[in-house]
Amino acid sequence: MTDKKKGNKDLKGFEEVMDWVDYDGPATDKNKKRLKKHDPYDLYNFLELENIRLQKIEMFFNDKVQNLSENHTTEKLCDIQQNQIDQTRKQLWGTLHANNSIYLKNLRLLFNKVFS
């Protein structure tokens, strides 16, 4: 539902212009009359909105996509995350297997209760 609303927002004014198009062939008297009834500012409004939309697309492809391709950081971020995971795993292993750790104390109590 949100995609439909978003698409309608991007195509605002475009539907009105497409209603003027005759898909059956050349312009007939009926279509010419219908075109004359429309306010000339409808077409101007459509062109303004289309210009804004095209500027946004141009900005996206020229700035953001180019920046992503030049400064590809995915591998670096994955390496950093893997290093953090390894360090956390080592700290956890060391903490859990220390002689006075809570984990080992609880395991001793459990085994003593079960096997006593």
pTM of the model: 0.36
Reported as a single tens digit per residue, the pLDDT across 45-80 is: 888 899 999 998 888 877 777 777 777 777 888 899
Domain limits, the chain: 1-72, 75-116
Q: pLDDT at residue 24 above 60?
A: no
Where on the phi/psi map is residue 77: left (φ > 0), alpha (ψ -120 to 50), or beta? alpha
- Structure-block tokens of residue 102: 């809570």
Rg (CA), the chain: 33
Determine the average pLDDT of the residues in 36-45.
71
Contact assessment for residue 3 and residue 39, using Cβ atoms and an 8 Å cutoff: no
